[in-house]
Amino acid sequence: MGGLQKKKFERGSATNYITRNKARKKLQLSLPDFRRLCILKGIYPHEPKHKKKVNKGSTAPRTFYLLKDIRFLLHEPIVGKFREYKVFVRKLKKAYAKIEWSDVERLKENKPTYKLDHIIRERFPTFIDALRDIDDALCMCFLFSTFARTGKCHVQTIQLCRRLTVEWMNYVIASRCLKKVFLSIKGIYYQAEVMGQLITWLVPYQFSHDHPTDVDYRVMATFTELYTTLLGFVNFRLYQSLNLVYPPKLDSKSESEINEQNEEDYAMSSESYLEKLSALSASLARVVSSVEEEEAQLDQFPTEGEDMENMEAREKELKQEEKAKKLFEGLKFFLNREVPRESLAFVIRSFGGEVSWDKSVCIGSTYEVTDETITHQIVDRPSVDNQYINRFYIQPQWVYDCVNAKILLPVEDYFIGVTLPPHLSPFVEEKEGDYVPPEKLKIVAMQQGHKSVTEDEENEDEDSNEEAEEEEEDNDEEEEEEDEEEEENLKKLEEQRSKGKSLQVKVTPGKMKVENPARLEQEEKAEEKRLAIMMMKKKEKYLYDKIMFGKKRKVREANKLAAKRKAHDDAEKAKKKARK
């Protein structure tokens, strides 16, 4: 039989992949440069399905790239820039070694640089694509902006990151799109909804850095390089969408409000503007100084039946959202110096509140402590001397909890020295039958409009707590009860019959049996369900039973946890009382 002998590893997956080292050599780049290029261009290593085939018979773990990807990289103009840079470094070193300072100067002046604009355009063909990937960029920029300027990375990078994050925060404030805040032990998680995209980012607490040694700073810096470019362009577009001036300018009205004294103490004149911006206390200037934006009315279309209901529901939702956006409107906050200023200012301002602080804390304070119109003062210390009567002294958690609950919570739980209720994560979404902590139930109850409870005294709060608990339990048990209800009905009937027998025969005037149509409907449904269960095949029945069992178990567990919690609370209460 004819034909050449097939050689191994000359077709198939072995030719589709290329090892990292080979790729590097193909591109004529050093390993760090190659890594940087891959990060910038968004080309990631790939794990082949059949490693042994790809690796030409060896099973040693290696990093593989797709050959086509590397071929694509060959066309990148930045590769040339990398090579140029290499040569530049070599020349510079030589000049230094020869102590030729004029050469050093000249070389430094002609340092080869590159732009990433075309890469951004290529990787994110539309604005929405960019928005979807902005999470990472935000996290990285917020992280780098908190770095100390100690030479772990370029000072310029830190400054740029700071500028971009301040711009972003100002945008969020201007557009009021913040949704959730979560204070964790790691950092502060924020979530905002920008143009329909949910964007989550993590901001580290200030001054909390120890520099871990097992992190590759070069890689992180490369990512940041890309992300600063991306975030800048996104910011520009977002500012444009709100008719704001970019780069951001303070509103002339609000700028005049800021206390101008001692400006020199905070920052150099070159930096003071950014500092003022980052104070977040003033609103931004608009391109067209618009009149108060009229609230957009939903377009009304003639609709029928279900659509109408949907529309109404949506309208209601929208209204609620609008209301939530103006949560802190009309409130005036004052921050004491021990609370995290930036985070609180950001949150309060993005819900329409006014905020200020002591002028020695930071630039950009707008009013003093002595202002009589202040409604809330945020304090995080055991006691405050010379308090004002007409304002609440509350702990910072109140602000965050209000934002997450979308209503103004009663301030009583957050007074100075009071043990705070737990700070619940707004990112948890409970499914049916899960254990829900009572604090959350309370909040849900309040959201649904049990305002009467909240307006009452503190003492009744606890009661409402329990009530809510009970309610929830009721809800949980409803399904169980459905089954039981019928049995009860039957029993009642029987009893009535038996009673009827034992009693003397007596004719009583007939009563109109009031038929509750809703009730009837429910019964009918329950009956149907029961019949359906009866008609099930054995196999399906088995599955059904299993599912029901699982559900019940979940409910049982939740109940158990709730009971445990109640016992815990009772014990705590008892302890408190004993202490008193």
Interface of this chain with another protein, residues 240 to 279, rule: CB under 8 A: 240, 246-247
Q: Which stretch binds another protein (CB under 8 A): 94-102, 150-158, 482-490, 545-553?
A: 150-158
Q: Which residue, 50 or 492, is less far from another protein as judged by CB? A: 50
Instruction: Annotate each residue in 37-66 with x if it binds another protein (CB under 8 A) or - if it does not, as one string.
Output: --x--xxxxxx-------------xxx---
Coil, helix or strand at residue 120: helix
- Smallest separation, CB 401 to another protein (Å): 10
Count of Cβ atoms closer than 10 Å to residue 131 Cβ: 18
In whole angstroms, how close is the CB of 372 to another protein at the nearest point?
27
Choosing from 22, 209, 450, 552, the residue that interacts with another protein (CB under 8 A) is 209
Residue 488 to residues 74, 179, 373, 474, 502: CA-CA distances in angstroms? 78, 47, 61, 17, 21
Q: Determine the Cα–Cα distance for residues 97 and 92; give it in Å rounded to an integer.
A: 9
The vertex-349 CA angle with 254 and 455, nearest 5°, equals 125
The site string for another protein over 533-572 (x = CB under 8 A, - otherwise) reads ----------------------------x--xx--x----
Smallest distance, another protein to C-beta of residue 165, A: 12
Question: How remote is the C-alpha of 302 from its chain's centroid?
Answer: 37
Residues in contact with another protein, counted by CB under 8 A, come to a total of 105
Nearer to another protein, 224 or 281 (CB): 224
Q: Does 433 bind another protein (CB under 8 A)?
A: no
Which of 211, 316, 319, 525 touches another protein by CB under 8 A? 211
**Minimum distance of another protein from residue 15's CB (angstroms):** 17
Choose which of 34, 168, 171, 201 interacts with another protein (CB under 8 A).
201
Q: Which amino acid is at 9?
A: F
Nearer to another protein, 110 or 387 (CB): 110
HSE-up of residue 16 (Cα within 13 Å, Cβ side): 11
Per-residue mark of binding to another protein, 315-334 (x: CB under 8 A): --------------------
Q: How far is the CB of 309 from another protein (least distance, A)?
A: 33
Cβ–Cβ < 8 Å for 349, 284? no
Binder of another protein out of 237, 286, 551, 552 (CB under 8 A): 237
Q: Give me the least distance between CB of 395 and another protein, in Å please.
A: 7
Query: CB burial class (10 A; 0-12, 13-18, 19+) of residue 22?
Result: middle
- Which distant-in-sequence residues (6+ apart) come within 8 Å of 477 by Cβ? 555
What distance in Å separates the CA atoms of residue 262 and residue 364, rounded to the nearest whole number? Answer: 11
Rounded to whole angstroms, how far apart are CA atoms 414 and 461? Answer: 13
- Pairwise CA distance, residues 556 & 524, whole Å: 28
Pairing state of beta strands 197-204 and 187-194? antiparallel
**Of the candidate residues 23, 54, 70, 139, the single one contacting another protein (CB under 8 A):** 139
Phi, psi of 219 (to 5 degrees): -65, -45
Instruction: Based on the shown chain and the rule CB under 8 A, indicate whether residue 135 belongs to the binding site for another protein.
Output: yes
Query: Does 122 engage in binding with another protein (CB under 8 A)?
Result: yes
Gap between the Cα atoms of 21 and 72, Å rounded = 17
CB 43 within 8 A of CB 73: yes
DSSP single-letter state for residue 505: P
CA dist 576 and 580 (Å) reads: 6
225 binds another protein (CB under 8 A): yes
Q: Which of 213, 269, 386, 390 binds another protein (CB under 8 A)?
A: 213
115 binds another protein (CB under 8 A): yes
- Is position 482 an interface residue for another protein (rule: CB under 8 A)? no
Among 58, 262, 425, 475, binds another protein (CB under 8 A): 425
Please say which residue, 224 or 366, places its beta carbon nearer to another protein: 224
Residues 6+ away with beta carbon under 8 Å from 547: none
3-class SS string, 254-301: HHHHCCCCCHHHHCCHHHHHHHHHHCCCCCECECCCCCCCCCCCCCCC
> Do the beta carbons of residue 395 and residue 379 sit within 8 Å?
yes
Alpha-carbon distance 235 to 166, whole Å? 10
Q: What is the rounded CA–CA span in Å between residue 404 and residue 201?
A: 16
Give the shortest CB-104-to-another protein separation in angstroms.
13
Q: What's the N-to-C CA distance of the chain in angstroms?
A: 101
Could you say whether residue 216 binds another protein (CB under 8 A)?
yes
Given the complex with another protein, which of 104 and 220 has the nearer CB atom?
220
- List, in sequence order, every residue forming a beta bridge with 320; answer none if it has no partner: none
**Residue 122: closest CA among 237, 16, 233:** 233
Could you say which of 86, 91, 154, 450 contacts another protein (CB under 8 A)?
A: 154
Q: Which stretch binds another protein (CB under 8 A): 254-262, 286-294, 386-394, 417-425?
A: 417-425
> In the set 168, 189, 328, 414, which binds another protein (CB under 8 A)?
189
Interface segment toward another protein; rule CB under 8 A; list 3-11, 226-234, 316-324, 539-547: 226-234
Q: Is 236 in the site for another protein (CB under 8 A)?
A: yes
Chain centre distance of CA 364: 27
> In this chain, which of 208, 300, 448, 508 binds another protein, going by CB under 8 A?
208
* Nearest-approach distance from CB 42 to another protein, in angstroms: 6
Contact region with another protein (CB under 8 A), list: 326-334, 355-363, 416-424, 497-505? 416-424
Interactions with another protein, residue window 378-407 (CB under 8 A):
380-381, 395-397
Of the candidates 33, 69, 342, 472, which one interacts with another protein according to CB under 8 A? 69
Site residues for another protein, 21-40, by CB under 8 A, read 35, 39
Residues 379, 383, 384, 386, CA torsion sign: positive
**Residue 202 interacting with another protein (CB under 8 A):** yes
According to the binding rule CB under 8 A, does residue 228 interact with another protein? yes
- Smaller CB separation from another protein, 308 or 418: 418
